[in-house]
Amino acid sequence: MRKIRLETVSRIEGALSLEIKVDSRDNLAGISWKTDLFRAFETLGVGRPLEEMPFLTARICGICAEAHHLASLQAAEEGLGISPPEGIRKIREAFGLISWLRDHLTVLLLFSGPDLESFPSPDSLSWLEKTGLWDLFLENRKHLRRMLEIVGGRGHLALGGIPGGWGKKISSEERKELGERNERVLLLARKTWELYWEKTVSQPFLWPVQSPLVALSPEGSEVLVLPPGKNKPLRFPLSRFYETLVESEEGSFLKRINLPPFGAYLVGPLARFYLFPSPDFPLSREAHQALKNIGEPDLSRASLFRAYEVLWAAERLKHLLPELPINHSLSFAPLKPVRKQGLGAFEAPRGLLLHHYTFDLDAVIKTVKIITPTAQNLGVISDCVPRFWPYWPLTEEKNLLFEIQRFIRTFDPCVPCMVHLLRNRSPRDSSPEKEGQRKIF
């Protein structure tokens, strides 16, 4: 028995290390996921006022801040029995789309981009210079930061939402500026799609998906589940889907989420592509049709579907911006819960994100449950490693570690988002005593 250690999985969000056990016949005997990150947001929220949660949970991750903010707002509003007006919903949608663009472009051009090259892959900056996208990428980082500032009030960790409304007004000049900056983002989106299509479409299928695909329905009230080999998805009310999930622990501080009776499932760009309708916009509609013609879901091409979503998000934002209300009135809803719990859901760039809170009639938090995309994908990652193990090179350890990292990066894992305590369990949580899981506290 020998051990192969990877001290740092590079080009992901957060810190993650692996320990791989291999027997004398080079068969995989076990793999351990480890992280020293510890962000107990589920416990830190207990005892706090409900209205603080959208701002507290936005600090979970520097990349996923807007997604957590929007999911948390929705959970709070469900508990308070309020719904934002149509204009505010459009502002929130624009806010989410801008965060999608920033997140996806960061992942595609800094994290997974070098994996398009043969081993050993270059560093991200060298790869960007080689592609000729370096200057355009830096320019658009500034554009997207400014766009988040216009809509959310600040360029980083933008937080514009208040229960029932939005706290940052948009002037007519700012709305015009958003459109001008988005045109430059759309240019980069087109170039990114073309680059990934050229580099990826000719590659052979390496990692076929054999797990259910899961995504929030476009209207947000249901969860769509597409079992392997099926053409028509199953539809679950959001609350029923959440109550069905089972949470367990995978390694140090890491969550793993299963969906009975299917077990592990996949969320993110691949799932959304096969569960969402074809877009109405010309560039992304053409890209959508091209992707439909290349075959069944395959993880080795997951980044190509992410590049398609960049194109779609930039086009959707272009059509949405003229509809944003100018200098909307600020309204503050009374913070008096009409029910004792709230469930919020948002399709974050990396996949389905869920926030569930329980609270008393004074709107003080009693329990917090946050289910992130990476926690949901972790089961698929863990299950796929043994399945694909025979196809990875074992003669050179550095080549093996490169292939494993490349595989992990296709899921776009965000480690800070999945290292939460397991104390506040939902009714369907698995038992630590029965499964031999250690208790953190």
292-306, 375-389, 416-430: segment of lowest average pLDDT:
416-430
Mean pLDDT of 390-410: 81
Residue 53 in this model has a pLDDT that exceeds 50: yes
Structure-token pair, residue 259? 């969906």
Structure-token pair, residue 213? 């695909």
Residue 424 in this model has a pLDDT that exceeds 60: no
Selected residue with higher pLDDT from 63 and 320: 320
Rounded Cα–Cα distance for residues 369 and 356 (Å) = 5
215 neighbors 259 (Cβ within 8 angstroms): no
Residue 77 in this model has a pLDDT that exceeds 90: yes
**pLDDT band per the 50, 70, 90 thresholds, residue 236:** very high
Cβ neighbours for 319, distance < 8 A, ≥ 6 positions apart: 281
3-class SS at 259? strand
Q: For residue 408, what pLDDT is reported?
A: 84
Selected residue with higher pLDDT from 138 and 19: 138
Q: What is the pLDDT of residues 211-226, one digit of tens each?
A: 999 999 999 999 999 9
Mean pLDDT of 412-430: 55
Selected residue with higher pLDDT from 36 and 403: 403
Cis peptide before 237 (omega within 30 of 0): no
Rounded Cα–Cα distance for residues 244 and 263 (Å) = 11
**pLDDT band per the 50, 70, 90 thresholds, residue 383:** confident
Residue 5 in this model has a pLDDT that exceeds 70: yes
* 13 membership: H or E segment, kind and range: none
Q: For residue 70, what pLDDT is reported?
A: 96
Rounded Cα–Cα distance for residues 41 and 24 (Å) = 42
Q: For residue 430, what pLDDT is reported?
A: 43
Instruction: Tokens 């500026």: give the residue.
Output: 177
pLDDT above 90 as % of the chain:
54
